[in-house]
Structure 1
Amino acid sequence: MPIGMITRRTLLQAAACTTISAAAGPTWATATYPSRPVTWVLPYAAGGATGRLAQPICERLSQRLGQPFTMENRPGAGSNTGTESVVHAAPDGYTILATSTANAINVSFDPSLPFDAAHDLIHVAVLARMPLLLMVSTELPVKTLLEFIAYAKANPGKLSVGSAGLGTVQHLSAELFSVMAGLEWTNVHYRGSGPALVDLSSGHIHAMFDNVASSLELLRSGKGRALAVTTRGPCAVTPELPPIWTALPGYNTSGFYGTAVPRGTPQEIVDLLNRETNLAIADPAIRKQFDAIGAIPVPCNARDSAGVFGAEIVRWRQLIALARVRKDG
């Protein structure tokens, strides 16, 4: 056949070869990814539950994929500063966001946001869920969940309840509890769980809801008392504590942790990151680290990860409406 002449048969053969080639091996994107360090953005200050979950995953991805996966804390605006930086990052797989319940809450709680975490990000994987604990000051004369509810009812408006910030999972878990139990108290919002836990241990506030990972040290030191867990079932780290559900049927909250990348990231890279993340979560050594802080692994594929995030948005939107809370307080 003379050069320059292309027949229909030639085109069909070329298309068939392309199809076979795609099915037989990785595409250019996955074959070359990653070729340089990857940044895993944590939209919170260092030292929290997000970092404790992300660190072993980053270490394992670095080993498996041959490039450093480095955590970078970008706190501010209730996770929105770090999240927006990832939304506007290049969609090439080299910038990953550590997502959490805050991203799902903010979709409804802060309608002024210039981005939509549900549509401007591709949700790659779900790492875990984590129960919260109802913690009280040791100076408060209660030792059980029912005693706490009775004491709060007998002292309307006199209790101060701390949180990691307005609109956080800690704040909304407390609001849901007060609505369902018919309680009145004063909310005290801090910039993170750390300062709130310090004030709880010194008796400056009476109670707070906080995730297991950051509450354990205070609990084990005897400077704070845990009365219950927020999930429907018990927590493996504190099996002696009853679920709030036992006193308030229907009550159920937990922290959600996952990963996402900018919209437009090649699907091959998304699937690769999902697969490697799930392999990491399945590793017994990493499972042991998750268990130690009360984290419940939730492995699933990328499509289901997006579905889980969407369900979180619906769940927290309903809770926000029930608790009648707004960003402006």
Structure 2
Amino acid sequence: MPGKALTPYKGDLIKSTMPYYLTIAVMISILVAITYFFLSALVTGSVGSATSYGLVLGILTWLYITPLTTCFLYIYMYKHLHDRNYGLVETAFSRAIIVLNRLPVYKASYIPGLLSNLGLARLAQGHYQSAESLFRDALSQAEGLSARSRSKRWLASLCVLYNNLAVACLRLGNYVEADLLLERGMKLLENEKNQRYRFYLAPLQLAASVVHSELGELPAAEEHLHKAQEVLRQTPRPSSISPSARLLDVQCDIQQALIHARRGDFAKADPICDHILQQESALFSTMSLKSFKLLATEYMNHQGYDRSEALLESAYAIARDHPFHPDSQELLSCFEKQLQLTDRQSEVKDMRSWLRPVLIETKTDTQT
């Protein structure tokens, strides 16, 4: 059977997970080598060597359990985020955190990242309050570790956490705190000495653009968007977040089209919208549903029904697999309006039937 060609997005996934595979290989190789020497010393009766190797093996096991677990989890996460199977990601991370917290192993510097990714899985499912709580916990721990270590290596993690918590606040309508968090993240990185981490300004600037757009402050929204786009154009992208970087490009396009549409400048919005619709569906997630709905609404208000329907259909393909997500319900109402405005009221009932098969499947799985 011929192999299936990799899409660019899958190619990014392989590139992103490769460092984790290499880390796993190195750590396991070291453990296997030390274990071999330890067993050899036991067999030959060399008590001193066996004691030394046993001590080294114990220390390495104490150090390696959490990073090995983290690497496996990140590989698992990348795969299932690509499949939009957020429930599996949530289950894996929540169980891993519970187990690691019970084990007498080193874990302090890894727990904030695990909590953050668990929060992302909750955020993608529309559980905004629990996601916010997880991000706050992760940020509090990361700030404490950063203050104690006084190391710049925490800058990227802190900025990611400021961004994630700000997005959760934005989804909950807490625009003031979201803006303050984003400003704190940007101030950390705008120092000239921190150019190594400049790429992380892009998501912060993009989120700030969304905040100001939601508040109706379009000039400020556009200014932040242009800064995000400038960072994406000029800054090398960390290989470990290649898929996220491509998603940022598309989200910037959506935000740009939305700003033009809200200004009534559809001559500029149209080509950007067409470009968005040509992108592979794997680049979009449940976090894209609201953006698609907002842009589609602008086109409906402008009577640009062809583009609004194309946008809604793209979002509908995601929403159908996540019927209980709050944005899916709003999208359904928006699609109903589209059908009514285009004199297709008879299709509303058929469109709403998409929820019933999902509920039946869920009930059957539960009974099984």
TM-score (norm 1): 0.24
Greater strand share, 1 or 2?
A: 1
TM-score (norm 2): 0.22
For CA contacts below 8 A with separation 6 or more, give which structure has more relative contact order: 1
